[in-house]
Structure 1
Amino acid sequence: MKRMVLTGLLFLFATLSVPSAAAGDSAKLDRVLRKLNQLNKVLRTFQADIIQRKYLNIIQEYDELEKGKFYFKKETDGIYLKKEIEEPRKTILLVTPREILVFYPKKNQAVRRKIDESQARYANFGIGTSVDDLKSNFDITYLHDEVEGKMVYHVLTLYPKSPKLKSYFKSLNLWIEAGTGIPARQRIEEPNGDYTDIQFRKIEINKKVKDKTFELKMPRDVEFIS
């Protein structure tokens, strides 16, 4: 349970400091960021199937594969994000401009945390965030390109700057689709060497997402835990 809460909180934070990239890599990074910025200027909604798995460094094994749905919507008052894990155990992460909520239906338990605007802005890790915002809060480097079937991905690495954020995670990798600028995969590495790999499938951009998607109804007797 604590691990799921931490994973949820990791969706809320981001900030980076690495050696300067070579000139060629710097030029490549600029091109990738321009494409990402072009997408983010027009992005209003993002929805996809999600597949995620956590690697546990202490035992050097992967945890159970989790599958579900991911929804993102940009509104005038901020961003709304929902990650609904359906297999193997239902868990719902909901982020609004005011709070983060994690609900465990089987145990009828939930965790609620108040957040401020600056935290909510980075809950989406690159989805719908302007490049200027990313640059002001991250050191970003181009790592390499990866080819998977007919798809080419530009892989970027981000490192948090502030000590507080560094205590939550060590680095973040983004796999950006070369043709579209869509962030199709993320890997969040924690200070202890654990990492969570998140892949988005069947991505749909700017397709209507109903407001009620971001409503979370829980039983009246739900237990809120710390």
Structure 2
Amino acid sequence: MNKTIKIFSLILLFTLTQITLGQELTTSQQNELKSKVKLAAQNTKTIVSDFEQVKHMEVMESDIPSNGKLVFKSPNLIRWEYVTPYKSTVVFKEDKLFVSQDGKKDAYDLSSNKMFRSLNSLIVGSLNGDMFDNSKFEITYFTDAVGYRVVFVPKEKKILKFIGSFQLKFDKEKGEVLEVKLNEPNGDYTRITFQNKKLNSAVSEQEFKL
């Protein structure tokens, strides 16, 4: 189980937040947002983006920053590469999870691990617009001056052991994901913001080989 927790800590890209979420959306506004997100996803074949991650731990005096690069290729190829302050890479490909860290490489079968399979579905869904699943999450929608925030609370007890809730922040005009946040049950959190995003640029299959 310790190894499972370590992998989750490495690849989870979300955070707990205590900020005011803003005004809750009406049903018609929710449907409008979901349609906008779906349309943006349908028009996106690849994503290449820098990201900044902040890890907050209650036992630490200061947050832990890191930087890296995301590469996504529709429908479900994902590469998260951390560059600073440490180097590590996580790849989701063909129902497999590949992890490279400190010169060591590991592979895990997502199809035989319900927890990893759920995690993969969550991450892919956040990138392809297919995450609004009321059977898996309690979902609440908010709007503020900056954009839309959607809060997801997993219904599955095994997932709740690791994820209290997570949030996605969307651009109001385009419906693109700007920020991803995760609540951990113990009060720790991780936040990732995307920068220098390029859509539909050429992405080689080599990006998803470790």
1:8–1:102 CA contact under 8 A, matched in 2? no
1:146–1:155 CA contact under 8 A, matched in 2? no
1:64-75 matched pairs, under 5 angstroms:
65-75=65-75
1:101–1:112 CA contact under 8 A, matched in 2? yes
**Residue by residue, what CA displacement relative to the aligned partner does 1:115-161 show, whole Å, maximum 9, x if unpaired?**
029533323351104255x33422221133243xxxxx211111101
User: What is the match of residue 35 of structure 1?
Assistant: 36
The residue type equivalent to 1:41 in the other structure is Q
User: What is the match of residue 202 of structure 1?
Assistant: 196
**Residue by residue, what CA displacement relative to the aligned partner does 1:8-36 show, whole Å, maximum 9, x if unpaired?**
4536xxxxxxxxxx985433322211211
Structure 1 160/91 Cα, relative in aligned 2: closer, same or farther at 3 Å? same
1:121–1:129 CA contact under 8 A, matched in 2? no
Is 1:162 aligned to residue 163 of structure 2?
no
Structure 1 135/47 Cα, relative in aligned 2: closer, same or farther at 3 Å? farther
Q: For residues 94 and 129 of structure 2, what CA distance do their matches in structure 1 show?
A: 14
2:122–2:131 CA contact under 8 A, matched in 1? no
**Residue by residue, what CA displacement relative to the aligned partner does 1:154-204 show, whole Å, maximum 9, x if unpaired?**
111111011011112111111101111100110111111111100110112
Structure 1 50/23 Cα, relative in aligned 2: closer, same or farther at 3 Å? closer
User: What is the match of residue 127 of structure 1?
Assistant: 127
Structure 1 24/170 Cα, relative in aligned 2: closer, same or farther at 3 Å? closer
Q: For residues 208 and 140 of structure 1, what CA distance do their matches in structure 2 show?
A: 34
User: What is the match of residue 223 of structure 1?
Assistant: none
User: What is the match of residue 98 of structure 1?
Assistant: 95
Q: For residues 181 and 89 of structure 2, what CA distance do their matches in structure 1 show?
A: 20
Is there any run of 5+ residues in structure 1 with no aligned partner, and where? 12-21, 148-152, 217-226
Scaled by the length of structure 2, the TM-score of the pair is 0.81
Q: For residues 84 and 68 of structure 1, what CA distance do their matches in structure 2 show?
A: 5
Is 1:109 aligned to residue 104 of structure 2?
yes
User: What is the match of residue 80 of structure 2?
Assistant: 83
User: What is the match of residue 60 of structure 2?
Assistant: 59
Structure 1 103/39 Cα, relative in aligned 2: closer, same or farther at 3 Å? same
Q: For residues 95 and 80 of structure 1, what CA distance do their matches in structure 2 show?
A: 6
Q: For residues 53 and 203 of structure 1, what CA distance do their matches in structure 2 show?
A: 18
Name the Cα RMSD after superposition: 2.5
Structure 1 50/9 Cα, relative in aligned 2: closer, same or farther at 3 Å? closer
Structure 1 101/23 Cα, relative in aligned 2: closer, same or farther at 3 Å? closer
The residue type equivalent to 2:58 in the other structure is N
Shift of 1:5: 1.8
Structure 1 23/128 Cα, relative in aligned 2: closer, same or farther at 3 Å? closer
Structure 1 169/131 Cα, relative in aligned 2: closer, same or farther at 3 Å? closer
Q: For residues 98 and 72 of structure 2, what CA distance do their matches in structure 1 show?
A: 15
Q: For residues 154 and 67 of structure 2, what CA distance do their matches in structure 1 show?
A: 27
